[in-house]
Amino acid sequence: MNEIEKKIKDLRASLRYHSDRYYNDDAPEIEDYEYDMMMRELIALEEKYPEYDAVDSPTKKVGGKADNSFESVVHTVRMESLQDAFSKDEIREFDRRVNETVSNRHYVVEPKIDGLSVSLEYRDGVFVRGSTRGDGDVGEDVSGNLRVIHNIPLKLTRPIPYIEVRGEVYMPKKSFEKVVDRQLLNGEKPFKNPRNAAAGSLRQKDSAIAAGRGLDIFVFNIQRIEGENLTSHKASLDYLKELGFNTVPFYKRVDNIDDAIVEIDRIGEERGTLEFDIDGAVIKVDEFSNREILGSTSKYPKWAVAFKYPPEEKQTKLLDIEIAVGRTGVLTPTAILESVHLAGTTVSRATLHNQDFIKEKGIAIGDIVTVRKAGDIIPEVLCVNEHNSDSVYIFPTRCPSCNEPVIREKDEAAIRCINPECPAQLLRNLIHFCSRDAMDIEGLGPAIIENFVDKGLIKNTFDIYNLDYDKIAGLDGFKETSANNIRKSVENSKSNDLSRLIFALGIRHIGAKAGKLLADHFRDMDAVMSASAEDILAIEGYGQIMADSVVSYFATDSAKELIEKLKTAGVNMKSTSQVKDERFSGMTFVLTGTLPTLKRSEASKIIESYGGKTSSSVSKKTTYVLAGEEAGSKLDKANQLGIDILNEEQFLEMTK
């Protein structure tokens, strides 16, 4: 293989990988601009060396693919992507090609919304189906999640026989900020940008999750229509407005390419002030008759082009580095900068990611750095232009919030505070401690806990068992009855099994199942606390990272102090689980689907009470799959591996 062929092959592999991360995993690893530049390089090489052409090249395919967890939808009209342009010269070249083929044409210029492209179908004016673009030919049926988006009309203003429209589902910037705050509060990995947040939300199996994400839509095209004859793009957008659609927010019809470029510049100047993300502006031939003559390539329509705004970069001085402690204990560095105007806003702070990033770039306080807005949302430091110090910034060895030592776990980039009583992590830890799968304290939900923290009623985890119920009864929105209900729930939680308490402590890498394994093995908290990593590794299902995490947690003075206080309050410190007999000993069950009468948690308890264990994934080691209605891929895999399938009736018969 020669150098050119290898370069083409490597580019195709990289583009496929990053396309999959972007479209299908909603977790991009590079910026759009970097991806676009790789695509452009591949296009140029394929044109220059046609002998290396391939029908499955990323240059010939739309990026996404249908997710087999949703029903597939075959698009009658292909949902094409757009050819990109990165300079005004390329825009003029597009105009030249159009003028070679058609005459007396006009253009419509509109913003390119950065979201997830979808199709909406209506019969007799009623919404019947919605789907994602997928690979352009086959998408996913996400009708349920689209129905809960406020600006998608379920009934049009006119009962036209049939219409299919294309739009872009997006997440407004304010909604994105709320979602990220909630994710951080719950200790989850936050979405990188609004586009991926929108895509991830639209692919949720539970429509209630999508409904709570604040999604919105702009409709920008008619794919098919019956009962109406439209001749131009602008007329179709006007018509869509009349039908009740939330159309692309502003669009302008122009006579020539010079006026189109003026409009592109105007949109570019305003993009920093918009409440939604755009990654470019689109120029479309207005007349549908001209579009038919121009046609399409295997991937792009020849009657449209997308001008992509380059990421704006500026140089400024790094004044300081501020270390914040997140709600999961991760220490996050933020650059404090001399203010600079960037992408429509004034930037004085930027992310520095982690210690490895700082070391790799050689960043120190006082340096002149280049700043860019990643995805036009989060400012980040790209590189150092001028060093003003010989030493690179080093993270503190103690938590800035509680002064406890910080740790860096193996194979992790994050430096973390594991003090359970760290003030910076307090709210997240309290919410987790009271949650249903942990201590299950009904009445102490996230909003109420936050209220109690603000009022000074809870300053640490132990305060949950030392609440002043008279003060609670006197708060706005509370009465003696509600205060007593909280008191009763707090008292009830004291008798929970040790496994719930271990999970409630929020030990890194230790979930509910791992907590139960610890409790069942050691039987009381003192034994857990004194166990070595070697002792814990003897438990089937535990690895080195999990064992080290348990040992590190209980080695802290704050953890020891918290356990002593909880003991004093009367919280149970022993395992109460009992094994009736060993009939399921050595067996592994996987639960899938909805059972007729049992909840999955109830079935799991029955299995464990007979010495068996449950797993979340099917493998050759699985003994049985207990399947209910709407069992999905786990059932398919079990059939492929020849694993015995049980229904609820058969399972209960085994427990008699």
Please list the active-site residues: 112
Distance CA 406, CA 398 (A): 5
> CA-CA distance, 634 to 57, in Å (whole number)?
32
Q: What is the DSSP letter of 147?
A: H
CA distance 544 to 181: 32
Strands (E), 72-198: 72-74, 84-85, 107-113, 116-123, 126-132, 138-140, 162-170
Give strand pairing partners of 386: 368
Backbone phi and psi for residue 214, each to the nearest 5 degrees, phi listed first: 70, 35
User: For strand 107-113 and strand 278-285, is the pairing parallel, antiparallel, or unpaired?
Assistant: antiparallel
Exposure pattern of 6-38 as b/e (b: 16+ CB <10 Å)?
ebbeebbebbeebbebbbbebebeeebbebbeb
Q: Which of 119, 110, 107 is nearest to 79 (CA)?
A: 119
Q: Find the DSSP H helices in 49-142.
A: 88-101
R_g (Cα) of the chain, nearest Å: 29
Report the C-alpha gap between 367 and 383 in whole angstroms.
Answer: 10
Reference 249, options 64, 112, 121; nearest CA is 112
Map tokens 């206080």 to a residue. 565
What is the spatial distance between Cα 141 and Cα 66, in angstroms, rounded to a whole number? 9
Give the CA count within 13 Å in the CB-facing half-sphere of 4: 10
